[in-house]
Amino acid sequence: MKEARSKRQKWLELGINGLLFIIPLFLIVDGSVELAQNSLYHPDTFILFGLLILGLLGLVMTGLTIFRMYTRGWRNLAHYQKILAIFYLACLVIGGITWLIFTEVIPFD
């Protein structure tokens, strides 16, 4: 029974992470398509908002992973949780750089 429960929990957690990742990905792709079509409705803001949401998502999920590592330890995390931790850390770096460029801490020419 415990194995079925953990398998269900694994798929639920992966599904929630997938749904959370679809929102910024949709904004980035939609903005890129509109930008390629020379739309007048500022599609670059969709790309920017998608990257900023991705950064916030990376921040929250990295914090959650650090909490899990503190309570359980890295070796006791499931394999998919380790992969998600690395993935969300990459999202945090990409989103952090985007935030720094957006707030003009890093000048963009």
Could you give the 3-state DSSP secondary structure of residue 78? coil
Give the chain's residues under pLDDT 50. 1
* Sequence-ordered list of residues with C-beta below 8 angstroms from that of 6, at least 6 positions apart, any chain: none
| Separation of alpha carbons 54 and 95, rounded Å | 6
| Separation of alpha carbons 40 and 10, rounded Å | 43
| Separation of alpha carbons 47 and 35, rounded Å | 9
Label residue 24 exposed, middle or buried (CB < 10 Å: 0-12, 13-18, 19+). buried
SS3 helix, strand, coil % of the chain, rounded to 5? Answer: 85, 0, 15
Q: What integer pLDDT is reported at residue 41 of this predicted model?
A: 84
Q: What integer pLDDT is reported at residue 10 of this predicted model?
A: 86
Report the interhelical angle of 43-72 vs 79-102 (nearest 10°).
140
